[in-house]
Structure 1
Amino acid sequence: HSAFGRHRNPLFYLFKKYSDPDPKGKAMHMPMHTFVKLIEDAKLLDQVMTQATITEGLFQLQISDILSFADFLTALGFVAAFKQPHPLLPLHTRVSQFLSQTFQHAFHPNFPNNVRGN
């Protein structure tokens, strides 16, 4: 996940905002529907990148319905590759550009706190 580089800390913060704590309070996880909600909140869904596209793509990547932080990064990598389909650019470059140009507004203070409104 070196493609996430300088975005790692803000992405972890975003993951925490949207995640549910483990019942024992030791780990966090993000249900798939919450990841889709995050993508929707970031205004990344359209006629091509739909909820079904995300769900099917993550199924193909063998990501379960509950995402760890590593799964979350992989899922964002999928969205980045889908939204930045430049085959001549290395994937790590596409992911970094996607996060810088497209997803960065999600770190803005006005971005929804999380799906539960906490």
Structure 2
Amino acid sequence: MTKIRAVTKIREAISNAIALIRGVDRKGYGRYNRDMTKTMELYILLKDKLGEQETKALIEAFDEVSEQAKREAATKADLENMKSALELKIEKSKTDSIKWMLAFWASQIGILIAAIAVMLKFFLK
């Protein structure tokens, strides 16, 4: 029975830690401050249940994952650059489409005029 309680306490501590990392309490309500106090709260929550060394290793792993996510996240400037590049490509494709449609219409009108001229020559003889 004591093993089950220990596992339950560890699971609860880990879920509290994950909620703390995400920035909300376990029920999803209030926001925590995203500074050093968050790390200290996490350390205090897990120290007694996991041990000091394991808690430090877990916090370091969370910090590494957090830093990696920050490095890989797209910034607002990146998104604006991508948006402007896509707008340019769309505008170019629209221009190309209009050019091709104009060429098609001009050739169709030329063919129609030639067909009418041939018919008029044939019927007016």
What TM-score results when the alignment is normalised by the length of structure 1? 0.27
Q: Which has the higher strand share?
A: 1
Q: Which has the higher helix share?
A: 2
